[in-house]
Chains A and B, each alone.
Chain A
Amino acid sequence: MRVDPMEGATALPVAEPRAWGRLRDRRLPVIPLGIITMFVLVAVLAPLISPADPEEQSLRHRFRPPVWDERGSWQHPLGTDRLGRDMLSRIFYGSRVSLTAGVVTVLLASAFGAAVGLVAGYYGGRMDAVLMRLTDATMSFPVILLALILAVTVGPSFANVVVAIAVILWARYARVIRGQVLTLMELDFIAQARIAGAGAWRVISRHLLPNTLNTLVVLVTLQIGYVIIVEASLSFLGAGIPPPTPAWGSMIAEGREFVTSAWWVSFFPGLAILLVVLAFNLLGDWLRDTLDPKLRQL
């Protein structure tokens, strides 16, 4: 007599093939990778492919709509802004700011954070306790506030944005890596290395670090999107990249008052942000599912 086992529950511990097998099974996330590649190329080649100088103003050409509107033209495919500057070029150049900010910040934060996590996990005890207190205190501090202070005291700049974000962001890495290290420390091969006389540096760099790389890669990818959004928010508020450098966030701010009449000024930079961040997030999700599904919480 047939019964549908779809009723009833509990999971069967089905043996999963190893990660590499899985990598081959899973199709590459073509679309996210494509989008990211496209933006990277755009950022690198911006001077070559921009139809105009992003900072060139032209009061005659103010508020031109995009090319598909009847008043638009191919000279300015995505229209122009309040000062007659070409939107497409500004978006191209804006990608430089966003991508650089994202990558640099994340690299700094992850390097520092991973170091803290490795040390805390390896030494344990007092050092671990102290470092983790520090980490927790840092982690729940709103990034924007720090950036605001820096913007007002030292003045807004690219470096400020990177510093403000990195100073808070590292804590996330520290926490996660430390957790991984704690698990790794239980494993036999670490004990063996230490019995064989390996010192702290050797154990950390040769044994612990390579095993945390998976996690690091996933976390880094997922965080780039977050940093880009934060940078854009800061630029939007005026506490980020200062004008006249084109930054997507400040472009949106500039177009805010004219949303009804010249919607494209705010719309396209926002769309760009959405695409890039979405691509990084999807890529990060795919990496996580492939490399280490246990990181589901990230």
Chain B
Amino acid sequence: MTSPASARPPVIEVRDLRTHLVTRWGTVKAVDGVSFAVREGETLGLVGESGSGKSMTCLSIVRLTPRSVSGLLEGTVRLEGDDLLTKSEREMQRIRGRKVAMILQDPMSSLNPVFSIGMQMREPVAAYHGLRGAALRRRAAELLASVRIPSPEARLRAFPHQLSGGMRQRVVGAMAIAAPPRLLIADEPTTSLDLTIQAQYLGLLKELQERHHFAMIFVTHNLGIVAKMCERVAVMYAGRIVEMGPVREIFTSPRHPYTQALLESVPRLGAKLDRLTAIEGQPPDLARLPAGCAFAARCPRVMDRCAEAPPELAVAPGHTSRCWLQAPA
């Protein structure tokens, strides 16, 4: 898992994370043995279909898993050496927002409709930096300005329903970098935005990362965005990472059949297509996962060996794939 060119310790190191939820339809293995690390200034893309466990992984990192169901949360999540899974809830409340920040998907519902933007900005800033009164207001306005919101002082008095989707997502971004955090988790932040706004927002995120040097985990199902934003990417399927490595390498020589299928299903400009290639079959029911490789049922290159769950195997430096095809024979 180490990149030879880098000697920096990772900001976040997740090892064998498991989130199993006991529901009345069975035990849902939402996250089943996920491991990765992200360094300062680096962006890791987390890619997969709906239900692959991308969002649950993020929520597990900040320990905001559903509390109405019982289950287990295992593994280690080291944030700058500190294992988050051993923290008490009170300690986590001090870590969330300050050390780890998150941007959620839908800007229309992320902001509290009955409180002003100012209040929602001031709250974290006051908590993180202990500012009051005029200093607090100034800082809040500065933060809004840093995400390129025009007339920030006026905006503080506005309410969420008075802003457009793009603006709201910027506000959420401003709240996320208020501390500034060591790790920013962006869970499909541009999925609900207009295409024209998406590019601007992505550019903004990159700029903020350059300025504050945080590590970023970027969840998306859009491979184009991965190419633009991420240095490394992890492909998730049925709660596990099936392939992970540098973006360029994954795109040019994917090893895992699922990654290959994903890349193939994206139509390319200029290529002649008779029909769109889709991946056959359905994603598995996370409450009834097979004992072996989760992708076996849909895999065009399935073998007998796949009845046993494959481990993560190194394909190249910094590039792993969870598939028996990569195993030495």
Contacts and interface: CB of A to CB of B under 8 A. Distances in A.
B310 interface: no
Interface stretch (A5-13, A115-123, A211-219): A5-13
Contacts of A154: none
Contact of A12 (B56, B62, B75, B83): B56
B86 interface: yes
A10 B59 contact: yes
A3 interface: yes
Contact of A5 (B23, B67, B83, B88): B67
B146 to A, nearest CB: 28
Nearest to B24: A25
Given A2-B74, A3-B74, A5-B73, A11 B86 contact: no
Give the top 7 A-B pairs by smallest Cβ distance, nearest first.
A12-B66, A7-B89, A5-B65, A8-B63, A5-B73, A10-B64, A3-B85
B33 interface: no
Interface of A: 1-12, 14, 17
A1 B87 CA distance: 11
A5 B19 contact: yes
B67 A8 contact: yes
Contacts of A14: 23, 28, 66, 69
15 contacts: A1-B83, A3-B63, A3-B85, A3-B86, A5-B19, A5-B21, A5-B65, A5-B67, A5-B72, A10-B65, A10-B67, A11-B66, A11-B68, A14-B66, A14-B69
A6 B23 contact: no
Given A1-B76, A2-B72, A2-B74, A8 B56 contact: no
Contacts, number: 61
A8 B71 contact: no
A79 B262 CA distance: 80
Q: How large is the interface on B (under 10, 10 to 19, 20 to 34, 35 or more residues)?
A: 20 to 34
Interface in B85-126: 85-86, 88-89, 92
Contact of B85 (A1, A10, A11): A1
Contacts of A6: 67, 70
Contacts of B89: 7-8
A99 B107 CA distance: 51
A100 B274 CA distance: 68
A1 B74 contact: yes
Interface of B: 19, 21, 23, 25, 28, 30, 56, 59, 62-76, 83, 85-86, 88-89, 92
B69 A12 contact: yes
Nearest to B66: A12
Say whether chain A's binding surface is mostly helix, strand, loop, or mixed: loop
Given A7-B92, A8-B89, 17 more contacts: A2-B72, A5-B21, A5-B65, A5-B67, A5-B70, A5-B72, A8-B62, A8-B67, A9-B66, A9-B67, A10-B66, A11-B68, A12-B30, A12-B66, A14-B66, A14-B69, A17-B25
Contacts of B83: 1
A12 B65 CA distance: 7
A8 B66 CA distance: 7
B76 A8 contact: no
Given A1-B83, A1-B86, A2-B74, A7 B63 contact: yes
A23 to B, nearest CB: 15
A10 B19 CA distance: 15
Given A2-B74, A3-B74, A3-B86, A8 B92 contact: yes
Contacts of A7: 63, 67, 88-89, 92
B153 to A, nearest CB: 32
A175 B64 CA distance: 37
B52 to A, nearest CB: 14
Contacts of B70: 5-6
A287 to B, nearest CB: 21
A10 B110 CA distance: 13
Contacts of B86: 1, 3
Contacts of A17: 25
A107 B269 CA distance: 62
A289 to B, nearest CB: 15
Of residues B23, B73, B75, which shows the largest number of chain A Cβ atoms within 10 Å of its Cβ?
Answer: B73
A24 to B, nearest CB: 14
Contacts of B56: 12
A17 B287 CA distance: 14
Contacts of A4: 73
Contacts of B19: 5
Contact of A9 (B64, B73, B74, B75): B64
A9 B65 CA distance: 6
Contacts of A5: 19, 21, 63, 65-67, 70-73
